[in-house]
Chains A and B, each alone.
Chain A
Amino acid sequence: EAGVVQSPRYKIIEKKQPVAFWCNPISGHNTLYWYLQNLGQGPELLIRYENEEAVDDSQLPKDRFSAERLKGVDSTLKIQPAELGDSAVYLCASSLGSEELFFGEGSRLTVL
């Protein structure tokens, strides 16, 4: 069974530039999460989707971050414009209902 797929794995951009991350969850998993992980810290939730609906986006900085999950399958997380403090690893995870999360490899963003 294929796991959670994320791309790109690495991205280096100048501040104020836009960036987008893509995630394809495990087939059949209705719940999709985007997490942010800073060095030496645990993942922090940005947004959670149940099928196509964003059911919790309270921690998403909406002035510069946006996300979508069209057709309830894959998802895109966008940052525009990026700031120096956005440098981190962006993790996508999926689950079947409320059971354990399965994570992708992550997308490491460096903002210069």
Chain B
Amino acid sequence: EDQVTQSPEALRLQEGESSSLNCSYTVSGLRGLFWYRQDPGKGPEFLFTLYSAGEEKEKERLKATLTKKESFLHITAPKPEDSATYLCAVRSYGQNFVFGPGTRLSVLP
């Protein structure tokens, strides 16, 4: 059974203080690992898809990386508008998406 855990559960940063969020997964055969951002009262918004170990994707202050067991979402010099819950999901061949519980990020001005 595919499983996803995320850490930390919540993270509070000062504006400009870089950090990383972790997504650990177990899957029979990885078809893709997905990162989403979710603002309060909204649906998740797609950020990245990673397909194989060693792959990296970047978007503004966010950079996602992937190994065979985990993915990191690095946030460089965050701003208050980066505050949100970040969800990680995996999909294995022939299976549905499995989501982690998310990391709630707060960036203080």
Could you list which residues of chain A lie within 8 angstroms of chain B, going by C-beta atoms?
4, 33, 40-45, 48, 56, 91, 93, 98-106, 108
Contacts and interface: CB of A to CB of B under 8 A. Distances in A.
Given A103-B43, A106-B42, A42 B102 contact: yes
Pairs A-B, 4 closest by C-beta atoms: A42-B99, A103-B43, A100-B46, A103-B44
A40 B85 CA distance: 9
Interface residues of B, number: 21
B46 A101 contact: yes
B5 to A, nearest CB: 10
Q: Please classify the interface of chain A as helix (H, G, I), strand (E, B), loop, or mixed, using the class held by over half of its residues.
A: loop
A33 B96 CA distance: 10
Nearest to A38: B101
B1 to A, nearest CB: 12
24 contacts: A4-B43, A33-B96, A41-B101, A41-B102, A42-B89, A42-B100, A42-B101, A45-B96, A48-B96, A91-B44, A93-B43, A98-B31, A98-B91, A99-B49, A100-B32, A101-B34, A102-B46, A103-B44, A103-B45, A104-B43, A105-B41, A105-B42, A105-B43, A106-B41
Contacts of A56: 96
A48 B94 CA distance: 13
Interface in B33-61: 34, 36, 41-46, 49
Contacts of A45: 96-97
Contacts of A100: 32, 34, 46, 49
Given A40-B102, A101-B34, A105-B42, 11 more contacts: A4-B43, A33-B97, A42-B4, A98-B91, A99-B49, A100-B46, A103-B43, A103-B44, A104-B43, A106-B41, A106-B42
